Amino acid sequence: MERTLDCMGMACPLPVINAKKAIEAFTEDGTLRILVDNETAVQNLTRLGEHNGFTVTSAQDGEKAFTVTMAVKASAAKAATVPAEAVSCAVPAKGGRVVVLSADTMGGGDEQLGRKLMKAFIFALTSQDVLPDKVICYNRGAFLTTQDQDTVNDLKKLEAAGVTVMTCGTCLDYYGLKEALKVGIVSNMYDIVEAQVGASLIIRP
Amino acid sequence: MRTKERRLIVAFHTTHDAMAFEDYCLSRGAAGRLIPLPREISAGCGLAWSAPPGDMAGLRDLLAGAGIAPQHIKEMEI
């Protein structure tokens, strides 16, 4: 018995659900080929097949074309189950890329070196083709939007290019920098949490 | 996204040299800043001094005053 299941264009977890139905219809040993258009589906279908004891192979046929092949055993087909890890669907990006600067140093170790590295990081950030949507500064990160002129200038360039630069108001207050903000906006914990919860990628140097 | 600009770039033998030169320049009010070593100079990791273009002699004087031997000095667009 051979069957080909076309799941091109189907959103996760539909390829897995349809594949499970197709497996259940196998009354004799055979081959099930599933056509999908993304790697997540390949991985999920592989987990589905292996979880049920089938040999699974996959091949990429094009930029967005994959074939997953399962050697289905009829003895296991009727009782096929879907493991939780086979319905792992990537969460679609909502809030974009967020850079979190929680200190005025980059990495642990020597503080003086860490400060230089952070300045270099922010400089290099301005030269990226793909910019973050937001830069969030808190704790000693508040010094980056207030005290260091080079970094302030770099952050101004990012802001001019459409990046939202946010600094924690509590932190500005704590360090006596409330009147010293030179770039971006004062933010609160709700905005800071919301930006990170909704982010598709958080970069924390 | 940053617009490229012409700068005098100094590469150093060590990170300590780069940091010491920054301190020296800042203490004398010399224009410039530390930046990551441009990829056009080296694929390696490092810090470089970026100064306004044109005054190569002044830059060499600063390096001599700081007692630091540069690895490279190059005027380039970064």
How many CB atoms are located within 10 Å of the residue A79 CB?
A: 9
Better pLDDT: A129 or A65: A65
**CB-CB contact of B15 with B60 (8 Å):** no
Check whether the bond before A132 is cis (ω within 30° of 0): no
Which residues of A are less than 8 Å from B33 in CB distance? 119, 123, 150
For residue B9, the cross-strand partners are B50, B74
**Residue A94 confidence (pLDDT):** 56
Domains of chain A (ranges, CATH numbers): 2-87 (3.30.110.40), 97-203 (3.40.1260.10)
Alpha carbons A169 and A47: distance in angstroms, whole number: 47
What are the CB-based long-range contacts (under 8 Å, 24+) for B25-31? Answer: B25/B49, B25/B62, B25/B66, B28/B62, B28/B65, B30/B62
Please report, for chain A, how many H helices and E strands are present, in that order. Answer: 7, 9
Shortest Cα distance from A139 to chain B (angstroms)?
A: 24
CB contact under 8 A, A120 and B1: no
Tens digits of residue pLDDT in B10-55: 999 998 999 999 999 999 999 999 998 988 887 677 889 999 999 9
**Residue B1 confidence (pLDDT):** 59
- What percent of chain A is modeled with pLDDT above 70? 97
Paired tokens of A201 = 């990628």
- A123 — contact with chain B (CB < 8 Å)? yes
Q: What is the dihedral of CA B67, B71, B74, B76, to 10 degrees?
A: -120
What phi and psi, each to the nearest 5 degrees, are found at residue A24?
-60, -25
**Residue A186 confidence (pLDDT):** 93
> Choosing among B7, B14, B15, B33, which should be mutated to test the A contact, i.e. which has the most A CBs within 10 A?
B33
What's at A3, amino acid-wise?
A: R
- Residues ≥6 apart with Cβ < 8 Å to B65: B24, B28
Q: What is the CA radius of gyration of chain B?
A: 12
Paired tokens of A136 = 């969030």
- A119 — contact with chain B (CB < 8 Å)? yes
How many CB atoms are located within 10 Å of the residue B33 CB?
A: 21
- What percent of chain A is modeled with pLDDT above 90? 58
- A185 — contact with chain B (CB < 8 Å)? no
Which residues of B are less than 8 Å from A128 in CB distance? 1
Q: ipTM score of the complex?
A: 0.77
For residue B47, the cross-strand partners are B36
